[in-house]
């Protein structure tokens, strides 16, 4: 069992970090960062502090992965900080691994949240024995044009501010992954175009299954395979795997190759179920389904319950997945639930 961090309360102090791309510190993106901070303060009543290196810019942070790791360690060590939220993802946070002190994370448990390349930082927490939260980032969801989406706000309140069971995750009624250039000042006043959402789809399986959540951005997880970050076999037992694809929109053949590796490791055979997020722009929407089902057939896993098109990926709005939390897939009702709290 992973350690559950304490829930957030209004007035709590939280840290923002840049474990991956350092764009939050670039002058052209600084207004976007400030918008995200303002939402954390005004919508959730939190006090926000930027870690010392987090706003030093993309070039500095690219050249100094140890500085990014120092920020993480500083934020975890500081007992006045109750949560840590990543500014944004990127592509190279695996470079932080040599500078991470897992004992610091274990001895100072607190909420950590982000998505995409932040998958690697989640694996830092996982290895340390801490449950972290796959969810919104400062520059994206918190800094949404005009206002935060109510679905995301409610997910944050329900998951991070309450120690009650999270419960059934309802499908968002609308979604978008439209990109309006952040550096164009007028865009900040323009809402992105929302589209009606599709229902959650059952790809295969029957009945109701439960398991503990483990996964992330499927491309980023590839960076961790074969390293000390890769969870031991016992942690995949009776899991519910969660996977999402990034803005790079990997070709469906890559999904086949990666899932075959999970099968070759015996991970798919140990899992109790699987959930896949809606792909960005709904790119390869049907092809990804075909790829997933092809691998299941190749390995005789046609009974593994799989839900598709859930709102936790590179689209907005999104819900939050606490690593290690007990979750449930109801195949008949096509429902996904998190049947315990994410925080203590």
Give the per-residue pLDDT at 91.
98
Give the per-residue pLDDT at 125.
99
* Structure tokens that stand for 335 in this block: 């429902």
Question: Which stretches of the chain drop beneath a pLDDT of 70?
Answer: none
Give the per-residue pLDDT at 344.
98
Give the per-residue pLDDT at 208.
98
Place of tokens 């009606």: 196
Give the per-residue pLDDT at 56.
98
Give per-residue pLDDT as tens, 13-22: 999 999 999 9
- Please work out, in degrees rounded to the nearest 5, the angle formed at the alpha carbon of residue 289 by the alpha carbons of 288 and 294: 95
Give the per-residue pLDDT at 184.
94
Give the per-residue pLDDT at 318.
98
């Amino acid at each position: 069992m992973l350690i559950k961090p304490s829930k957030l309360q209004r007035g709590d102090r939280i840290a923002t970090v840049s474990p991956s791309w350092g764009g939050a510190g670039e002058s052209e993106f600084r207004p976007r960062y400030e918008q995200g901070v303002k939402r954390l303060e005004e919508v959730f009543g939190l006090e926000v502090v930027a870690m010392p290196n987090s706003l030093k810019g993309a070039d500095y942070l690219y050249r100094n992965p140890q500085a990014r790791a120092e920020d993480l360690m500083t934020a975890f060590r500081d007992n006045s900080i109750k949560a840590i939220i990543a500014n944004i993802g990127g592509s190279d946070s695996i470079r932080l691994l040599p500078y991470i002190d897992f004992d610091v994370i274990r001895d100072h448990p607190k909420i950590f949240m982000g998505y995409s390349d932040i998958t690697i930082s989640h694996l830092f927490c996982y290895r340390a024995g801490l449950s972290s939260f796959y969810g919104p980032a400062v520059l994206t969801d918190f800094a949404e044009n005009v206002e935060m989406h109510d679905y995301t706000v409610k997910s944050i309140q329900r998951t991070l501010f309450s120690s009650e069971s999270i419960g059934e995750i309802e499908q968002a009624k609308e979604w978008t992954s439209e990109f309006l250039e952040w550096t164009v000042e007028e865009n900040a006043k323009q809402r992105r175009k929302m589209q009606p959402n599709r229902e959650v789809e059952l790809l295969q399986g029957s009945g109701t299954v439960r398991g503990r959540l483990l996964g992330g951005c499927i491309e980023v997880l590839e960076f961790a395979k074969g390293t000390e970050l890769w969870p031991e076999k016992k942690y995949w037992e009776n899991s519910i795997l969660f996977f999402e694809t990034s803005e790079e929109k990997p070709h469906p053949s890559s999904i086949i190759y990666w899932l075959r590796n999970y099968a070759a490791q015996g991970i798919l055979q140990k899992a109790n179920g699987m959930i896949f997020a809606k792909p960005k722009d709904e790119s390869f929407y049907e092809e990804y389904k075909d790829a997933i089902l092809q691998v299941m057939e190749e390995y005789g896993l046609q009974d593994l319950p799989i839900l598709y098109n859930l709102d936790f990926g590179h689209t907005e709005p999104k819900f939050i997945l606490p690593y290690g939390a007990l979750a449930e897939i109801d195949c008949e009702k096509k429902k996904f639930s998190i049947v315990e709290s994410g925080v203590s």
